[in-house]
Every structure is written in C-alpha cells, then in structure tokens.
Amino acid sequence: MTETRIKHIACIGAGYVGGPTMAVIAQKCPDIKVTVVDISRERIAEWNDSNLDNLPIYEPGLKEVVAEARGRNLFFSTDVEGAIREADMIFISVNTPTKTYGVGKGMAADLKYVELCARQIANVATGNKIVVEKSTLPVRTAQSIRTILDAESNGLQFQVLSNPEFLAEGTAVSDLLNPDRVLIGGSEEEGGQAAVRALVEIYARWVDRSKILTTNIWSSELSKLTANAFLAQRVSSINAISALCEKSGADVDEIARAIGMDSRIGPKFLKASVGFGGSCFQKDILNLVYIARSYGLTEVADYWEQVISMNDYQKRRFAENIVNRLFNTVSGKKIAIMGWAFKKDTNDTRESAAIYVADYLLNEQAELWVYDPKVKAERVYADLDYLNTRGEDENRKLVKVVRDPYEAMQGAHAVAVLTEWDEFKAYDWQRVYDDMKKPAFLFDGRNILDRNKVKALGFEFEAIGYRS
C-alpha cells in the first residue's frame, strides 16, 4: 500500500467513543469527509436532530463541536455499506461487552459485533482500506480482523491498525482536543507502517507529534487494557483503605491528600467513593483476567480479579450501611437516589454503582425515588431490568424516576448521593432536611458534601472513609 492521503473517513458505531471522536476529527480536519454510521435509526436521528440538546450523548462541549462540523464535513447516517465503499479509512467503534454466554462467560469480551463489521467491510469494499480498531479489544483481535479481511478480500489490500481511546466520559471532548497521548499500533511491514503514517498525519493536525506514540499492534491493544486496570486498581486501593478508616477513626480524604503529595504516587484516582463504574474499567479488567487465565497465568489473573472484588465489596458495603443505619430495615421506606450516571457530566450508566446499590435496596423492599439531571427514566428502568433480579412490573412499582430533585427527597427517610454532580453541592439542604422524615439520614457515596455543614443542619450523615 502506497502513501495514502485520507479524504474520507467512516466510523461504524455512533456511541460514546465513535460519536465524539469523529466529531473532533471532523472539526480539526475540515477537508476530510467524516461519516458516522450506525444500524440504530433512532440514534442517528438524535445525532441529526436540529436541537443539539437532543444529541444521544451528553458531554460538555460536544454540541458546540457537532454544531460547527455537522453538515459541512461531518455526517450521520444509517447507510453503512455506502460509507464503507466511499471511505479510505474505516474506524470500528462498536460495543464489545463482556460475554454473557458460553466460553469466557462473565469475563471475555464479546467480539461478535467486531467480526460482523470486518465481514461487512470485506464484502462491501471496492477498494483498498485502512481499518482502525477503536473499540476496546483483547490482545490479538487485530489479527482476527486481518484474517477475515484477507480471506474475503477479492484481491483488495487491507491494513489493520489499533488506535485505542483514552478519553474519559464527562471530559471526552477535552481529552480528544488535548490528549495525554495518542497510541497507534500497526504491523511492521511497509504497508502497515504506511497506514500508521496516514493516521498519524490526521492526529498531527492538532496534536503535538511528541504525543503520538506508534507501537506494534499487540502492544497497542494490551496498553489500553493495562491502563484501565492500573487506574481501577488505584480506586479499589483507596476504597479498601476507606473501610479501614471507618473502623479506626482515620480520615480517608486526609490520607489520600498525604500520600498523593508523594511524587512516586501522585493524587489522581485516589478519591474514595462507593465504587467505580463505566464501560471500560470492569470490562477491561475482566478481559485481562480472562487472557491471563487462558495463558495459564493463574496468579496474574487472581491479582487483577481482586480489583473487581474490592469494587463489588465497596458497593455492597455502602448499601448494607444504609440498611443498618435505618434500624435494619428499609422495607416500605422512601429512599432518594441522587444520581444514576456512573460519573458526573455524562449520561452513561454502564456499570454505575447506583444500579447495584439500588438493586440491593430493592431486594430489601425499599421504595426508591431516583433523580439524575441527564439520565432518562427509560434508561433507569432498563438498567434494573437487565439484572433480572425481579420482574419489570415490580421495578416500576418500587422505583419512581422524577425530574425535580426536591421531589425525589421530599418525605424521604434517607438520601443517597451516588453520582458527583456539581449541582448536588449547591442544593438548599436545609429545605431538604425540613422536608424529610426524622431522623433524616444522608449518605454521601462520593464525598462531595461539606460534612460539617450538613451535620450542623441536623442530618444523620454518613460518608466514605471516616467514622461518624
């Protein structure tokens, strides 16, 4: 494959990665046509909605980027085959959930959507293509994609690159505009290196070349899993210490501040909480565990699996504490769940701690009132239904989703803060206290509230990592 100047990019998958990534590429490369395709007509319609507040993904700054590029060189479509035929470079950015069936159930990544994309590209393409893995994938997936493409190439040349995303939901646009690094992995043969250079030239439009790292494709794939595993490990580590703090009288925030000033450790990801969530941390660690076990590395697998175990423990411990503090029963009691997204500034709820805390409380027959500024009611119910803990009718009977935070908390026996939305800190907590059942319990699962102020108002207050 000779040196290629990319004129048209297609991205298969209009989700949390594909949509924002392509929007930024289109904004920074106005001479390149960028088409984002998805089989979901509803999702594409939302991306094309004239009201930018109706975009399917909430990210600060995203609607401004979309507004600039959409209709100029950024397009959203359901014509997958047309986009494949036209594109010089195709990003695969489809979901790779943890398998719920068969070999590797509960750990391995389900690659069926990636394989379907590869086969569709091979069947539809009429010219040479560069195919870019943008989904989070296990090591050696690129080889599988390459094998499929080559087997059905009909004489065409395909190059497969790994370009893992390192964006964080809630800061995705900022992360894309000002990345710590861009990682591109490709084969070491000349065609692969030419493809790498083509992708480098795209990112170099706005990213300093010193931040664009090129590796072999296997290193690129494993780097993404490793990065997420290391970050999640830090969260689980400080959460493990938070449990010890609550027993000993130490303050986890003070400990985090003290050790965070150690240059060897640093302050990031040392915020104790009810637990991490999101689409990547748990999925990627489980995938890492599965890979390690498949190679017979039992001790390695056990080590990383403990990160997940600690996260599950933290969520369960928080929910159990609510029940214990409410006199060992929450049956028939109104509990306000403040926040459903897995973190602030996103409407993504995948693996959110709120889901599992809520499920535990529902098993205890609590009546939950849920408020989140960006998550719709249908998403809340879908998350609970997916667990199959109880029937859909029972979930709707026990859970009420409201758009007014004060309505959620009015008359409640307890309030549980489960997402660190900034607006929660600005509420009139005196009003909340006055309108609640007494004693009024307030559980801060994100340690965002001023504990002294809310305790002075009369709340029975509990937070993560310090003894009340």
Using DSSP, state whether 77 is helix, strand or coil: strand
238, 210 contact by CB (below 8 A) = no
Write out the E strands in 121-245: 129-133, 158-162, 182-186, 212-216
Q: Which of 63, 129, 134, 224 is catalytic?
A: 224
165 catalytic per annotation: yes
Distances (CA, A) of 448 to 296, 344, 361, 410, 426: 43, 12, 22, 21, 11
Alpha carbons within 13 angstroms on the beta-carbon side of residue 313 total 15
Q: Which of 11, 29, 117, 280 is catalytic?
A: 280
Q: Which of 59, 133, 165, 305 is catalytic?
A: 165
> Within 10 A of 449 (CB to CB), how many other CB atoms are there?
19
- For residue 159, list its beta bridge partners: 130
224 catalytic per annotation: yes
Q: Residue 336 phi/psi, 5° resolution?
A: -90, 125
Q: How far is Cα 78 from Cα 297, in angstroms, rounded to an integer?
A: 43
280 catalytic per annotation: yes
HEC letters along 386-421: HHCCCCHHHHHHHEEECCCHHHHHCCCCEEEECCCC
Q: Which residues are within 8 A (CB) of 235 and not within 5 positions of it... i.e. 6 or more apart?
A: 269, 271, 273, 275, 276, 281, 311
462, 441 contact by CB (below 8 A) = yes
443, 418 contact by CB (below 8 A) = no
Which positions are catalytic? 165, 224, 280
